[in-house]
Structure 1
Amino acid sequence: MTALVEWLTISGDAEAWRSIGLVVADDGLIPLHGTSLRIIETAPERTGIRGWALSGVDTGLDGTVIDGLDTRVVEPMGPTFAQHDLGASGLDHVVVMTNDLERTSTAIANATDCELKRVREVGTMKQGFHRIGRGGLIVEIVERPEVPDGPARFWGVVVNVEDLDAACERIGTDLISEPKDAVQPGRRIATVRDDVGLGLPVALMTP
């Protein structure tokens, strides 16, 4: 069985996510192709990505921490999707911050059997990339000198949208940055501002 990220668990306000045009089910699930999001309501000071749910991995990983990343092991959900007014199709990638890329990458590879694909260096920053499952979620591991010693942590997500300009217009130009060229050739990206209240860095990108 192939490892897959079934969903990311996010502590936050479901209404804030609905406000940008995403469908949030009663159980907090935001259905997306590939990897979904699941919103849980907690205290405002605990917002952010709390963990991930994996299928196709050793069940002994359930309830463990993969170099700081809280992990649940679940059964495959199968295809799930909703028609989002935002035009969201799926998650492009999740960003993980660490002070030691090699350590975090090795832990993820050992747990998922998904090896590090490549490393990119920009000044003092290093980025490593895993893809969890065939065509699955990209995990971008970012190592920076200013990241304190300790375990890795989830940081933010990038969501693919069918029409970035339409998505920005729907959210409102005061609540999202102007679209710009992404690092990935031929793609464009815009960042949702903190004022929306999603509780973590979120960017929208063309497929």
Structure 2
Amino acid sequence: MASETFNGLKVAILVTDGFEQVEMTEPRKALDAAGAETQLVSPKDGQVKAWKFTEWGDTFPVNMPLDSARPEDFDAILLPGGVINPDKLRTLPEAVGFVKAFFDAGKPVASICHGPWTIIEAGAARGRRLTSWPSLQTDLRNAGADWVDQPVVVDGNLVTSRKPDDIPAFNPEVIRLFASARGQSRQTAAE
């Protein structure tokens, strides 16, 4: 059923060097298994290097440079965490604008760990109920969000999670949110 729903669903995974490897690979595997087409989008050309808990991890090919990526070509976005990755992304106006476009269009957004830093910078945290790595709670509250300490939180078109240990709870909610949004976008297109 998920494969049918996800047939043709295009998901951008926005990363740069220093993303937490498991926070990209595990949700990506779940999305790919459900029939989504995932693409690593990055301000870096060629490859990005992951962080693996306490040291550098593997490298992954960038499928699409950020300067060529158009939010309207994607149905949803995944924002992995790690400390380095979102801290870099939130300083890049083109990355922040890319994320903001998904919120402005009401498209689904999934974010884990430190990923919500980019959501704050995109001006999309205010009035939202979400979770993150605990050290972001003050940043999120200062940005007008209702931060809660739960493994996964869904608020409208946004699903957030705290850390790698929460991925087993995060992935099913990402699949559910992205599938329901895909159904809505198909219904809207048919009307």
The answer, yes or no, to whether TM exceeds 0.5 is no
Give the TM-score, by structure 2 length. Answer: 0.28
- Larger strand proportion of the pair: 1
Using the size of structure 1 for normalisation, the TM-score is: 0.27
Flag the structure with larger Rg: 1
As a proportion of its length, which structure holds more helix?
A: 2
